[in-house]
């Protein structure tokens, strides 16, 4: 290898090192920004919850019925009465009861939903389908299994059924996306019945799954 | 993969025949409510033309990169169900059943691939085996799908996505038979079959149940291992009890029924 080539290689190496030195901080900033966006969306959800609760704090307190596990073995659900200043607006009301459900009961062993999960959004479609969008923790932190996953969904649907009659069925999203299962077992591709009349027991999943 | 699944759904709605495909393939792309007369199904060729329940498809859940439920003591659902499957298989074969498995090692077939194995058979049932993270340790539960409206059927064909709907009453009968046996052996287990929207069951065009034992949270794996022979025996006995009541249809386009 002659001197000319040696110089070329050294120059190329120097250029590469300089480019990496310039690009690395940019990449680092981008990753940091992305993480902040995700954190912000969950913080935003919590903030909205507090604001929504404050917005209706003038409402008279109503006895809301919430469903947590009946025992530490997850054998069934049991109703608990919690006094809340429930809004008359069904969307706000649904957010209030679901966030109280997420906050958990006094006895943490009876909670049905992961403590770090957050409700990111809730809305009701014209056909009565309530759409609940939970953070990733709902799927990642829930104990895996048919029993625990079904109990989690039952606690949500029964709580909505008891407090928000406008919701007829429930669609669950995870971080804005439809997913196949909650934690490997329970089918989230369809909807779950909430306030459906007994004459039409269109148990979920009632709708044809939307394939990604 | 998503494109593959979408293709399956579109094809099933277009009415592609599983019965016809089942004659030549173990993994047909679509499901049908009823096996078709005049075709040679695997069960007929393997079990001398006997109608009714011939084949049990055992599904050890999870596998590969998906360990399923994991306990603090290092117990992995995917490993336990593989061992349970081997024990159930031995028991069923001694009772004269032909047994197929959706996986026999560390592979992890998709939900649709697992269902496809059962959907390709005539006179088969599907038993998915699980270990939970929760529940009273030393108990076992059987699950079937909850009530689902029957999908529109054209010439005996049903959409893949709702394949289980036509089999719900049979699945419950099978589930009650197995749960009854489990309740006798494992105190604290429910007496009747439970309902749950299990993804694996939805696309299975056969009587189908999930058996879930509690749990990976056990401190000592030996306690869970000691449960397995009893669970395997209960499943075998439950299936044997169910066997006479399973009638495969003789008329094409009709769904299988339960003997009165």
Strands A129-134 and A169-174: parallel
Measured distance CA(A32)–CA(B236) in Å, rounded:
55
All residues at 6 or more sequence positions from B18 whose CB lies less than 8 Å from its CB, including other chains: B28, B30, B31, B32, B119, B120, B157, B205
Across the interface, whether the CB atoms of B77 and A144 are under 8 A apart is answered yes
Alpha carbon separation from B96 to B84, B89, B210 (Å, rounded): 19, 11, 22
Q: Name chain B contacts of A150, Cβ cutoff 8 Å.
A: 143, 194, 196-197
Please give, rounded to a whole number of angstroms, the shortest distance from the CA of A161 to a CA of chain B: 18
Containing domain of residue A83, as a range?
A: 58-193
Query: What mean pLDDT comes out for the span A143-147?
Result: 96
Across the interface, whether the CB atoms of A187 and B198 are under 8 A apart is answered yes
Measured distance CA(A69)–CA(A79) in Å, rounded:
9
Residue A28 lies inside a defined structural domain of this protein = no
Query: Given this model, what pLDDT does residue A126 score?
Result: 97
Query: Given this model, what pLDDT does residue A146 score?
Result: 97
Measured distance CA(B216)–CA(B125) in Å, rounded:
27
Whether residue A150 lies within 8 A of chain B, CB to CB, comes out as: yes
Query: Given this model, what pLDDT does residue B157 score?
Result: 81
Query: Given this model, what pLDDT does residue A1 score?
Result: 65
Among the ranges given (A8-22, A69-83, B126-140), the one the predictor scored with the smallest mean pLDDT: A8-22
Query: Given this model, what pLDDT does residue B245 score?
Result: 87
List per-residue pLDDT tens for chain B, 260 residues long.
455 445 544 444 443 333 333 333 333 333 333 333 222 233 333 333 446 898 999 999 999 999 999 998 899 999 999 999 999 999 999 999 999 999 999 999 999 999 999 999 999 999 999 999 999 999 999 999 998 888 877 777 888 999 999 999 999 999 999 999 999 999 999 999 999 999 999 999 999 999 999 999 998 999 999 999 999 999 999 999 999 988 765 444 445 555 44
Query: Given this model, what pLDDT does residue A166 score?
Result: 96
Q: Which CATH superfamily is domain B2-249 in?
A: Zn-dependent exopeptidases (3.40.630.40)
| pLDDT tens by residue, A103-140 | 999 999 999 999 999 999 999 999 999 999 999 999 99
Residue A39 lies inside a defined structural domain of this protein = no
Q: Name chain B contacts of A206, Cβ cutoff 8 Å.
A: 148-149
Q: Name chain B contacts of A202, Cβ cutoff 8 Å.
A: 148-149
Residue B116 tokens, joined: 């496809």
What are the boundaries of each domain within chain B? 2-249
* A210 secondary structure, DSSP code: -
Whether residue A177 lies within 8 A of chain B, CB to CB, comes out as: no
Query: Given this model, what pLDDT does residue B17 score?
Result: 35
Total structural domains in chain A? Answer: 1
Among the ranges given (A17-26, A98-107, A170-179), the one the predictor scored with the smallest mean pLDDT: A17-26
Across the interface, whether the CB atoms of B135 and A74 are under 8 A apart is answered yes
Please give, rounded to a whole number of angstroms, the shortest distance from the CA of B96 to a CA of chain A: 30
Query: Given this model, what pLDDT does residue B49 score?
Result: 42
| pLDDT tens by residue, A33-50 | 776 665 555 555 555 555
Measured distance CA(A153)–CA(A159) in Å, rounded:
10
Query: What mean pLDDT comes out for the span A2-15?
Result: 88
Residue A144 lies inside a defined structural domain of this protein = yes
Query: Given this model, what pLDDT does residue A59 score?
Result: 76
Measured distance CA(B235)–CA(B93) in Å, rounded:
12
Measured distance CA(B157)–CA(B13) in Å, rounded:
9
Q: Which residue has the higher pLDDT, A23 or A141?
A: A141
Are A87 and A122 contacting, i.e. CB atoms less than 8 angstroms apart? no
All residues at 6 or more sequence positions from B200 whose CB lies less than 8 Å from its CB, including other chains: A185, B59, B61, B111, B114, B115, B128, B208, B210
- Share the mean pLDDT of chain A: 85
Across the interface, whether the CB atoms of B146 and A74 are under 8 A apart is answered no
The CB density around residue B148, as the number of other CB atoms within 10 Å, is 20
Task: Name which of B6, B62, B70 is nearest A211 (Cβ-Cβ).
Answer: B6
Residue A37 lies inside a defined structural domain of this protein = no
ipTM associated with this complex: 0.79
Helix (H, G, I), strand (E, B) or coil at B139: coil
């Amino acid at each position: 290898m002659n001197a000319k080539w040696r110089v070329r290689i050294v120059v190329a190496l120097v250029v590469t090192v300089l480019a990496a030195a310039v690009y690395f901080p940019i990449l680092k900033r981008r990753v940091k920004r992305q993480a902040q966006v995700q954190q912000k969306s969950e913080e935003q959800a919590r903030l909205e919850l507090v604001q929504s609760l404050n917005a209706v704090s003038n409402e008279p307190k109503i006895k809301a019925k919430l469903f947590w596990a009946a025992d530490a073995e997850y054998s069934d659900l049991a109703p608990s009465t919690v006094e809340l200043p429930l809004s008359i607006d069904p969307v706000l009301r649904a957010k209030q009861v679901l966030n109280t459900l997420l906050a958990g009961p006094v006895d943490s062993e009876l909670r049905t939903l992961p403590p770090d999960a957050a409700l990111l959004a809730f809305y009701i479609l014209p056909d009565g389908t309530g759409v609940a969008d939970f953070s990733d923790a709902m799927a990642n932190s829930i104990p895996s299994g048919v029993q625990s996953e079904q109990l989690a969904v039952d606690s949500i649907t029964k709580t909505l059924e008891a407090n928000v009659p406008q919701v007829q069925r429930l669609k669950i999203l995870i971080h804005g996306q439809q997913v196949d299962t909650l934690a490997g077992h329970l089918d989230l591709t369809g909807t779950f019945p909430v306030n459906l009349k007994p004459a039409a027991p269109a148990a979920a999943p009632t709708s044809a799954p939307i394939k990604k | 993969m998503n494109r593959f699944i979408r293709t399956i759904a579109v094809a099933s709605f277009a009415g592609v025949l599983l019965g016809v495909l089942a004659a030549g393939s173990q993994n047909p792309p679509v499901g049908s409510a009823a096996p078709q007369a005049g075709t040679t199904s695997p069960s007929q060729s393997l079990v001398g033309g006997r109608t009714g329940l011939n084949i049990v498809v055992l599904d050890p859940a999870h596998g590969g990169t998906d360990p399923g439920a994991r306990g603090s003591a290092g117990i992995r659902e995917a490993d336990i169900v593989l061992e349970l499957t081997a024990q159930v298989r031995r028991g069923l074969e001694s009772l004269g059943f032909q047994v197929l498995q959706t996986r026999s090692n560390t592979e992890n077939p998709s939900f649709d691939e697992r269902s496809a194995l059962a959907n390709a058979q005539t006179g088969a049932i599907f038993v998915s085996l699980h270990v939970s993270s929760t529940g009273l340790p030393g108990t076992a539960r059987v699950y079937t799908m909850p009530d689902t409206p029957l999908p529109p059927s054209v010439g005996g064909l049903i959409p893949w996505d709702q394949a289980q709907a036509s089999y719900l009453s049979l699945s419950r009968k099978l589930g009650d038979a197995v749960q009854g046996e489990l309740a006798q052996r494992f105190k604290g287990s429910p007496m009747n079959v439970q309902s749950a929207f299990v993804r694996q069951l939805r696309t299975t065009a056969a009587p189908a149940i999930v058996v879930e034992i509690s749990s990976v949270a056990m401190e000592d794996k030996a306690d869970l291992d000691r449960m397995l022979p009893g669970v395997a025996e209960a499943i075998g006995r439950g299936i044997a009890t169910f066997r006479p009541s399973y009638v495969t249809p003789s008329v094409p386009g009709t769904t299988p029924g339960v003997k009165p």
